[in-house]
Each structure stands twice: as C-alpha cells, then as structure tokens.
Chains A and B, each alone.
Chain A
Amino acid sequence: MTKQQANWSPYDNNGGTCVAIAGADYCVIAADTRMSTGYSILSRDYSKIFQLADKSLMASSGFQADVRALQKVLAARHLVSYLSFIYQHQHNKQMSCPAMAQLLSNTLYYKRFFPYYAFNVLGGLDSEGKGCVFTYDAVGSYERVGYSSQGSGATLITPFLDNQLKSPSPLLLPAKDAVTPLSESEAIDLVKTCFASASERDIYTGDKLEIVILNASGIRREYLELRKD
C-alpha cells in the first residue's frame, strides 16, 4: 500500500530570471519580462520588479501569485513603520535599504511553514548612498553581496558574473568591498550581456529585459528586446 501523494500543488513556477549589481554610487536591478507556465508563455510583458521604498527595489522570480502577495504585504508593512517613523522623528525619511532587507527577511520567515515561492533579489542604495544588493532564499535567509542572480537563468548567469565581478582572493590587500568597481554604464552593458546569453539557452528567459537603475539622481528604466523563442 503506497502512500497517496498530493495530486494538487498550491505552487507553480512562472520562470524568469533576475539580476542585481551594486556599484559605488548606483545599483542596477534587472529582470526579464517573460511569464510562463510549463512549456507555455502566459505573458511577454510582465514586470518582476517592484519598488518598495525610495531607495529599495525588489526583483523576484518564482511563483508570481506569491510574488504579488509578498509585494503587497511588504508595501503595507513598510507603510506601518514609515508612518510611525515620521510621527516620531518628524522628517519624511523612508526606510533605508538595509532596514528593508531585514523586513523582507522577517516577512518571508513569517511563512516558514507555507513559504512564499519567491526567489528575491533586493537592490538599492544604503544610507551612505552606496549601492547594495541582498539575495534571499524562499524562507528569508539573506546576505549582502556585490551582485546576485535568481531564477531559471541563474545557473547560467551566476558563473559568468563570478568570472567578471568576483573580487580576487580575500588574502589580497587592500580588502575589496562588496561593491563592484565598474561604472554604471559598464554594469548595464554587463547585465544586457548576461540576459542575451541566458535567453539563448534557457527557455524560460527571454522576450524583453527590464533594467532599473537607482542612483543619487533618482530612478531610471531601460528596456532591451530579447529572443522571443
């Protein structure tokens, strides 16, 4: 008598890839806009990037219904602490990116026993104006890094980013920062290259690339057409 397995799953994987790179005074967050299920495409123009606060953006791949729910919960939780913050401190300051990173971690762990099927990358500027990227697993374990990739194309992109960006041996002096020495435009080009390559081999990545650049002057978006097959 074999144990009966569930024939219905509450989860689905909508595919897609996200990347973020932190610079000295900027942060680049990018994700493709393809949403799929199984071998079918649901949308060629669905954004995976969400602005959580002034200086924080989140890109999430995985199950988009959970991603959307997570975005809404975070927006509400941010507002609760933001509004009480401006009450106490009387200046219109939103949550910093590192604070938002902790909030995201707590929100994910809250559902430890029925997780959000979301693989997140948080990007933004810290309180000193330096770029920061935080990478997560589905239940909230996170780490600040200089660059990260999540989603179906991550296995193709991460080794390439390691090759291009990973700081050499930690034994070298002076100690290298988590932040890449690349300029903003170089980082954007690198991201475009990553996705162009990933789209070649990963069937779940393609259609269009959405790039959001966050720096001292504000927020800006760029788009790049990718392979449609």
Chain B
Amino acid sequence: MFRNQYDTDVTTWSPAGRLFQVEYAMEAVKQGSAAIGLRSKTHVVLACVNKASSELSSHQKKIFKVDDHIGVAIAGLTADGRVLSRYMRNECINYSYTYESPLPVGRLVVQLADKAQVCTQRSWKRPYGVGLLIGGLDESGAHLYYNCPSGNYFEYQAFAIGSRSQAAKTYLERKFETFVDSSRENLIKDALFALRETLQGEKLTSSNCTIAVLGIGEAFSTLDQETVQRLINEFEVVGEDPPAEASAAPDQSDGAEPGPAAAAAAAAADDDDQETPAADQGAAPMDI
C-alpha cells in the first residue's frame, strides 16, 4: 500500500525500514537467465544458460574472464555487468602492476561491494542491476562469492542466481557436501546437472549453455562448444526427466533476499522476455 510512495528514489527509506529501489534492483537479477557457480578445494566452475533474444541474434555473453585467476558470471542487466567486469579487470591489472602478484579474490569482492553500496546512497545514482558470481583462486584456495546490487556479498560452496535458479539451488543443496573434495570433472558434471534443472524440460545442449573453469594450475578459460557437448553426452545430462519441483510459477523470493511480490517485477526496468507466466509479459527483450 505504501510502497509506491517510498520507491521513487534510492535515498528514501520506507516506514518499514526498506529501500525499495535496492529491492527492485535485486528483482532485476532474478529476471535474468540463470547462472550457477560451484567450488571444490581446488577448482571453481561457472555455468550459465545462453538466452538469445531472437533466433536471429547471438546470445549475450554472461561469463567474463577478469584475470587468469578470477572469472565472473552475471545475471541481470548485462550492460551493468560488462561495466563492472571492466572495473574488475582494471583493478586486477593495477594490483599486478604494483605488487607483481595476483589480486586476492576477497579484496576484489569487497571493493565491488563498496562500489555497489555507493549507488545505494546517492540520490543521483541507481543501484547496479546485476548479480555477480565471482569465482577465484588465491593463496587460501578456491573461492566462490556472490555480489548483490545491495552491496552485500556472501561466500558460497555453490550458488545459483537468475530465473528458475531455485530448481538449481535445490539440486545443489542436495549435493553440495560432496563438492569440497570433488574432482574437476565431477564438478563440471554437477554444474551441468544443476544447469539442466533450470531449463525445466528443455534439452540441454552446448548451444544453450556456457561453462567456464578455473583451478590450481589452470588459468580461467571458457570451455569450447565441442568439449561441452562431449561432456553433456558423456554424463547423459540431456533433459531426461524434468525435475519434480517444476512448477509453472517462476522462482519466487529466495530465502536470502527479501522478496517483493511478482507484480513489482513489472515495475523494474529492462527485463528479458521469458516464457514463464511471470508479471513481465510483453516486456522488451533487452537484457538477460
């Protein structure tokens, strides 16, 4: 009821102590196509669904190399993601130049979070509309972090963001305890399975997903289409049985974030057009 009075700019609190603009920005992340990250002690795997806005166009790039030891997968407004990736690359390059050693992931994550926080406390700015899954390697091993538009960041063993990510999270919650000591191949296999969950019946092929790996002794790289298809065939990940939790409704609020009603999604800017019966029918196919 009072929502519309207090959601005009990011510097206005609601009586309940919420910043609606920030929450709307988190909603933009949920509308993007899925991105998944998993880590073991030695490797991190990032996987995402490729959504092309039409058959004529190529799909948006969602996984970026930041440095040999850091990669990022995004969900939400790709343009924001691209700009933040450039920022991260520059930070890594400058750190390497000054200290002749790779930027520790934890530091980069905090720098990003602080950057995001600034946009939640300036009346002339808006929050970044992108969630970042950052996989990186440093002296203490492999790490996976999630950075929100709100300026919060969390470390995860495995996580999924974007649309229909709840299905992937359910799969990951079942299996995450095995990830710590998982081999590189099994980690990729789990990523593919988790990704398949988000497709909800649609066949998983190398043309609708992207996988990237980094690990001890292995610089960040995106696997090429042939390798991915071979892995899909090997693990027989092709959509055999759609998961039992395949509900018609898209994933509603997740436990971690406060969830505004789906109707608010229509208010959020620049959403991808999904087949799911969400509130964003007829929204312009702009970003993923």
Question: Interface size of A by Cβ–Cβ distance < 8 Å?
Answer: 12
On whether the beta carbons of A79 and B86 are closer than 8 Å, the reply is no
Asked if residues B64 and A87 are in contact (CB atoms below 8 Å), the reply is: yes
Interface residues of A (CB under 8 A from B): 72-73, 75-76, 79-80, 83-84, 86-87, 90, 92
Report 15 cross-chain contacts, Cβ distance below 8 Å, ordered by A residue. Answer: A73-B97, A76-B94, A76-B96, A76-B97, A79-B93, A79-B96, A80-B89, A83-B65, A83-B89, A84-B86, A84-B89, A87-B61, A87-B85, A90-B61, A92-B221
Which B residues lie at the A interface, using CB under 8 A? Answer: 61, 64-66, 82, 85-86, 89-90, 93-94, 96-97, 221
Q: In the complex, what residues of A have CB within 8 A of residue B90's CB?
A: 80
Q: Are B94 and A86 in contact (CB-based, < 8 A)? A: no
Contacts A76-B93, A76-B97 given; indicate if A86 touches B65 (C-beta within 8 A). Answer: yes
Q: Which 5 interchain pairs have the tightest Cβ spacing?
A: A76-B97, A83-B89, A79-B93, A76-B93, A72-B97
Name which residue of chain B comes closest to A77, CB basis: B93
Max chain A Cβ within 10 angstroms of own Cβ: one of B61, B64, B93: B93
B82 neighbours in A (Cβ, 8 Å):
87
17 additional A-B residue pairs with CB within 8 Å, beyond A75-B97, A80-B89, A80-B93: A72-B97, A73-B97, A76-B97, A79-B89, A79-B93, A79-B96, A80-B90, A83-B66, A83-B89, A84-B86, A84-B89, A86-B65, A87-B61, A87-B64, A87-B82, A90-B61, A92-B221
Contacts of B221 in A (CB 8 A): 92
- Chain B CB within 10 Å — which of A73, A83, A87, A92 has the most? A83
CA distance A73 to B82 in the complex (A): 24
Q: How far is the CB of B228 from chain A (nearest CB, A)?
A: 14
Q: Which residues of A contact B61 (CB under 8 A)?
A: 87, 90
CB of B227, distance to nearest CB on chain A (Å):
14
Which chain B residues border A86 with CB–CB below 8 Å? 65
**A80 to B94, alpha carbons, bound, how many Å?**
10
